[in-house]
Chain A
Amino acid sequence: MKKVCVISGKLAFIKVGLSKIGLGNMELNNKALGRLIRTLALPVFLQVAPHQAVAATLYEDLGGDEGVAGVVDQFLWNLADDERVNEYFVETNLDRFRSKLIEYICQVAQGPCAYTGDDMARTHANMNVTESAFNVTVESLILAMETRNIPTGVQNRLLKALAVSYSDVVEE
């Protein structure tokens, strides 16, 4: 009830304002005024709303194509340098691995890509990925994101999105 009073109070105030600028003779009922306010307000809403209401995807926060590729490249360098895990990749076609991984991360991060590789269980079957190797790999990715200056919150979101496939990757 109080709210209604406040609103009609505001309408009265606006009516006075409109009359001052020469629109006073127009018979404006509250309904018409409401329409007018909406019409005036709409463009303002349209300018603000798309940025505030629609959150950027993780893919965008990672820096899009360039950002994801940068992280993946650094990640691959880290893995190659790490004697604890690089033996897993001796027979890997690195070009294919790189492009599929970029695609995979892009898809997982709600980017505009469709992953065309095998699913995680199939990819890691017979690789005997141990818990240690998994942890080392996760940390390589974290360090790659650090190197590429990905903010902490964005790093965490990507790790969360990737972590769901843990059970498909690690040999229990």
Chain B
Amino acid sequence: MRKMKVRSLLKISLLSAAFTLFSASHTFADSRILATGGASTIEGAAGGGIVPWAVLAGYGSGDEWGTAAFSTQLRIEDYSLDTVGAAVSYNNRIELSYARQNFDLGTLGDALGMPGHRFRQDVFGMKYRLAGDLIFNRMPQITLGLQHKKHLDFAVPTAVGALRDSDNEIYLSAAKLWLAGLFDRNVFLNVTGRYSRANQAGLLGFGGDLNDDKELLLEASTGLFLTRKLALGVEYREHAENLGFSAQDDWHDVFVGYFVNKHLSLVGAFADLGTVATLPDQKGWYMSFAFAY
């Protein structure tokens, strides 16, 4: 466990170093307002913890670049999921992201006689802001996103009925922040529609014995900024039922986001993933650290 943490910290520092080098040759700046870069999702795109938002990573606008490198840890009843990744955005218009997910099978791994077994998945993402502005336009910020996911340890998912080890997902997000929206506090809402046939967001592959067609799935996050640095919120993410061997529930979480400054944000959450690969009541803690530039 400790070894893994050290490894992910090492990856993060390497990523940060890479971005520092990158920044030396590009105009990086942070003109956007604090927290408008969101946090980092477990899939790399800027967003909450589990829902990609219409906002773009980092704080660049105009001709500026924005970046974020992050690490997330999810510890639920019988499993754990660790992610590291990074995102860059340009002109508050386009975002490219990458995330490597490590899903530790925990109890299920023991039951399968594969203790310590984990699934790895790569997620390559792209976002394009189509219209609007998060705060200052009447029109909400609307962003089109694409994710290409590649499962790297597909033996077990195949055995339980998953049909594909990689897939593309398209999503459309709309986000809006209302200044002094509630109790004089700023209120945030993001709604995302994703066209997907992923099983547990792809951690159990794509498509299955019950269904192999993509469906439009709803995801949403809403939050209240108690101060300009501290937000409380909830998230929801719908999932399709493609696999006969286990039910798949929708995901929920309640989060606290703390934007220390434009370079560091921390998110803590209590997440409820319902039934995951036959094991019910998968609840637990989520932590995310993101470095932005």
Enumerate chain A interface residues (CB-CB to B < 8 A): 84, 130-136, 138-139, 142, 152-157, 159-160, 163, 166-167, 170
Contact = CB atoms under 8 A, between A and B. Distances in A.
B211 interface: no
Contacts of A154: 184
B184 A156 contact: yes
30 contacts: A84-B31, A131-B31, A131-B62, A131-B92, A131-B133, A132-B31, A132-B63, A133-B62, A134-B136, A135-B31, A135-B32, A135-B33, A136-B31, A152-B184, A152-B185, A152-B227, A152-B228, A154-B184, A155-B228, A156-B179, A156-B180, A156-B184, A156-B186, A157-B184, A160-B179, A163-B135, A163-B179, A166-B137, A167-B137, A170-B136
The interface residues of chain A, by DSSP majority, are classed as: helix
B179 A132 contact: no
A88 to B, nearest CB: 13
The interface residues of chain B, by DSSP majority, are classed as: loop
A163 B228 contact: no
A163 B186 CA distance: 13
A147 B16 CA distance: 31
Given A135-B32, A142-B228, 20 more contacts: A84-B31, A131-B31, A131-B133, A133-B62, A134-B136, A135-B61, A139-B31, A139-B34, A152-B226, A152-B227, A152-B228, A153-B180, A153-B183, A156-B180, A157-B184, A159-B179, A160-B179, A163-B179, A166-B133, A170-B136
B64 interface: yes
Size category, B interface? 20 to 34
Contacts of A167: 137
Nearest to B136: A166
Contact of B185 (A84, A133, A142, A153): A153
Contact of A132 (B29, B183, B185, B228): B29
- Residue among A134, A135, A139, A166 with max Cβ neighbours from chain B (10 Å): A135
Contacts, number: 60
A159 B34 CA distance: 14
Nearest to B135: A163
Contacts of A166: 133, 136-137
B180 A132 contact: no
A163 B137 CA distance: 9
A71 to B, nearest CB: 15
Nearest to A61: B184
B61 A132 contact: yes
A142 B228 CA distance: 9
Given A152-B228, A154-B184, A163-B179, A132 B62 contact: yes
A157 B180 CA distance: 6
A8 B252 CA distance: 53
Contacts of B179: 156-157, 159-160, 163
- Residue among B61, B136, B137, B227 with max Cβ neighbours from chain A (10 Å): B136
B62 A130 contact: yes
Contact of A163 (B64, B136, B184, B185): B136
B160 to A, nearest CB: 48
A64 to B, nearest CB: 19
- Residue among A157, A160, A167 with max Cβ neighbours from chain B (10 Å): A160
